[in-house]
Amino acid sequence: MRELFVVLIITSLLPACFRRPYVGLLTFSWLAYMRVQDLAWGTVRNMRWSYYVAILTFAGFVMNSKRERWFMPTLRSWIMILMIALVALGVGFSMTGAGDKFQISRLMEFIKIVVIALFTTAVITTREHLRVMMWVIALSFAFYGVKSGLWGVMTMGRSSITTGPGGMLADNNDFALALAMSVPLCFHIGMSEKKEILRKVFFVSIPLIMITVLLTGSRGGFLSLVGGIGVLIWRSRNRGLGIGIGVLLGILGLILAPSNVKDRLGTLQNVEEDSSAKARFRSWAAGTRMALDNPVLGVGLNKFRSRYMDYQPNPTAQELRGDNIFVAHNSYIQIWAETGSISFFLYAVLIAMSFRSCWRIRKLASRKYYSSWMINYAVMFEASLTSFCIGSTFLNRGHFDLLYHYVALIMVFEKLALQDLNDRNLVPTQNAGQQRQLGGDGLRRVRPHGFGRGPVVQRGFRDTPAPQA
């Protein structure tokens, strides 16, 4: 029955994917992040639904006579295209026959990730398009966060999560990182929604997602969660209250957390004695030697494991026996070692430019609005990127699908936000129930035309056109 339900949903969406490429992108993202096909069994679970959706979506996009562009021609788009060329060159020069087939498949996977990111910049052209896409991403992760979180509450935390739903979330560390990145999405999408019931749905999901991250036992995921929440608190209007609530929740979490979670997180206090941490330090050192010895194109995509022993001058007994899985345990070192210094520099530029866009829009929007979807989304993206950057320091997630999608979505967000900010007809919502006279409270003052003499401040979450005087 479940297989039939999944097949009916996906097949009913296929014609719409062809007619409207935007629907195809939403469907592809839903299949990638929620992995709905993994909720079924048998042949349905193993069918390449994303592949079918992609073919129909791109075919419809190519045949659409109203198509304006193939992608947004910005510096970040060209950087991603250049990264494809560099990674492909690295693969070509590193092919030795052993494992080349798998290396080619990883290259094709990376090309797919970048193509989807560029395609996103072409089909998401309105604020409503962006809003729905963020809904799809947030709810896809929230589904598993709520599902596993409720199970964790019912079992009093005695059950741990050792694997994710599948795909890019198959590893429990990757699963924890994606969930940590989804917390800022759920928070600020909820803040931006007008309907109270929708806001409650997102806010209720947040603590359950946090419980799920703890149940994975991923220390990198835990640090990502803390980093993202820290940004949300720092950017809140009442920072002191936010810090107080954060500290209180942290204390309650430590008290109520099961012993296995406490023991796992407690190893963060004794990094020097933890065997896992020692293995990470050794992997980082080996990866650095790989990068310095192959500075231009690296050792080749997905070649870190096969070349590890070549760059470990003093292997341990466990390493000689092959007991350890030789991975970088650090996304930045992984990219640097496997794809070279130029590619790593471009990767860092993508992240830095994305942060800059968030800071820029937040600063500009704060000058015009006290409360706005633009401010909420800027903080949302900033907090989620912070979660990724922290988690990537400890996890092997080079070329994470979600990061490149975020880069594209932030590009679109920046363009749409600048259009709103440059529209002189838009000012904060004029609603008497959301306004009050200002005293010495330091809130941002706005003097809308046609509404009395004194300055007022907006209390709502949405921006609407100002009435004409």
| pLDDT digit string, tens, across residues 148-196 | 888 878 876 666 776 777 777 778 888 889 999 999 999 888 877 777 8
The string of pLDDT tens digits covering residues 363-401 is 999 888 887 889 999 999 999 999 999 999 988 888 888
The confidence score (pLDDT) of residue 269 equals 55
Q: Between these two residues, 333 and 102, which has the higher pLDDT value?
A: 333
Task: Answer yes or no: is pLDDT of 405 > 90.
Answer: yes
Q: Cα(466)–Cα(449) distance, rounded to whole angstroms?
A: 8
Contact 379, 184 (CB under 8 A): yes
**pLDDT value of position 270:** 55
Least confident of 76-80, 90-94, 242-246, 306-310: 242-246
**Would you call 207 exposed, middle or buried from its count of C-beta atoms within 10 A (0-12, 13-18, 19+)?**
middle
DSSP 283-347: HHHHHHHHHHHSTTT-S-TT-HHHHGGGG-SS--HHHHHT-S----SSHHHHHHHHH-HHHHHHH
End-to-end CA distance of the chain: 60
> Quick check: 262 pLDDT over 60?
no
Arithmetic mean of pLDDT over the chain: 80
Q: What is the pLDDT of residue 404?
A: 94
pLDDT at 13 over 50: yes
Q: Is the pLDDT of residue 261 over 80?
A: no
Partners of 163 in the β-ladder? 171
Strands 426-428 and 463-465: antiparallel
Cα distances (Å, whole numbers) of residue 302 to 174, 342, 391, 466: 17, 17, 20, 54
What's the pLDDT at 385?
A: 95
What local confidence, expressed as pLDDT, does residue 45 receive? Answer: 76
Q: Where are the domains of the chain?
A: 1-67, 75-424
| pLDDT score for 431 | 43
The answer to which of 116-125, 208-217, 263-272, 336-345 has the lowest mean pLDDT is: 263-272
Q: Is the pLDDT of residue 238 over 90?
A: no
Q: Do the beta carbons of residue 413 and residue 420 sit within 8 Å?
A: no
**Among 137, 53, 76, 127, residue whose Cα is nearest residue 408:** 76
pTM of the model: 0.84
